[in-house]
A = this chain, B = another copy of it.
Amino acid sequence: MWNEGNNPMPRPSPTASGTLAPKPHTNTLQPIARDTLQERVYLRIRQALINSEFKPGQVLTIRELAQRLGTSIMPVREALQKLTVERVLELLPTRSVRVPVLSAEEFAQICEARMLLEGHMARLAAERATAEELERIEAASRAFLSAKVPSAPTVIQQRNREFHFAIYEAAHQPTMLELIEPLWVRCGPCTVALFIDLGAEKIKRGATTHHQQALEAIRERRPAAAEEAIVADIRATSERYQKYRREHAEFFGGPRSVRAAES
């Protein structure tokens, strides 16, 4: 499961674009992709983190990644820099980087921010969603429901993500959407770890209720109810992590945050 050893990492493919499914474009002859190597490396590692190809706590070294990706170290070091700034990765005292193991408090605070921002977005979506956007949300919801539970946990997580962002896009606040996105990436590795260890069955069942409530609230233009449903969904994730951390403190052991040693 974890990509710890020398399992070959596929070369970054040009089709591996951002983490959100791009909206279908109707206009032809859109500008061709002219991205840099560094950008591809960045997106590839980011995707790997979302997909839990790296384990929380795992240390990533520049040269090894460069070798596995078939590039020099330059694109990799800059990609890791970027991920560190986003706090998707964590700086060790040796200046190596690792996948963070979020403490209960950190996870809770990120979830708190998510509740505030995403609740706001859900409220706006209920007010503003167009018919087309509503259809997208419903499609995402169906996709989530139809995800086979025994399938890779990342699939459930992926569908869950797409459902949420289908809602948030309907709020028509692109700048705020960009603030929310990194919060998901930060939670990603730890959340997926939860999926794997706890079994996706129970989690999916819990989320389904909130999803249905959110969907209906948006369809019926009830902003407060939409906000409430999304907040409840996030709160459930937060509390699940709290509980899990308490019960498996040893698993998340090891030297916790690097910064703890600083102050």
Contact = CB atoms under 8 A, between A and B. Distances in A.
Interface of A: 25, 31, 36, 78, 81-82, 85-87, 95, 105-106, 109-110, 112-113, 116-117, 120, 173-176, 178-179, 183, 262-263
State the 9 A-B residue pairs at the shortest beta-carbon distance, nearest first.
A109-B175, A116-B116, A85-B85, A109-B176, A106-B175, A82-B85, A109-B173, A113-B179, A113-B176
Given A81-B81, A106-B175, A109-B173, 9 more contacts: A25-B263, A36-B95, A109-B176, A110-B175, A110-B176, A110-B179, A112-B173, A113-B176, A116-B117
Contact of A116 (B31, B87, B105, B120): B120
A106 B115 CA distance: 21
- Each complex incorporates copies of this chain amounting to 2
A56 B178 CA distance: 21
Contacts of A81: 78, 81-82
A95 B81 CA distance: 17
B178 A87 contact: yes
A92 B171 CA distance: 27
A30 B150 CA distance: 51
A109 B179 CA distance: 10
Question: Quick one: which of A95, A113, A117 has the most chain B CB within 10 A?
Answer: A113
13 contacts: A78-B78, A78-B81, A81-B81, A82-B82, A82-B85, A85-B85, A87-B178, A105-B175, A109-B173, A110-B176, A110-B179, A112-B173, A116-B120
Nearest to A124: B112
A175 B87 CA distance: 10
A189 to B, nearest CB: 16
A177 to B, nearest CB: 9
A119 to B, nearest CB: 8
Contacts of A174: 109
A87 B112 CA distance: 22
Contacts of A178: 87
Nearest to A38: B81
Contacts of A95: 36
A175 B110 CA distance: 7
A121 to B, nearest CB: 10
Nearest to A173: B109
Nearest to A262: B31
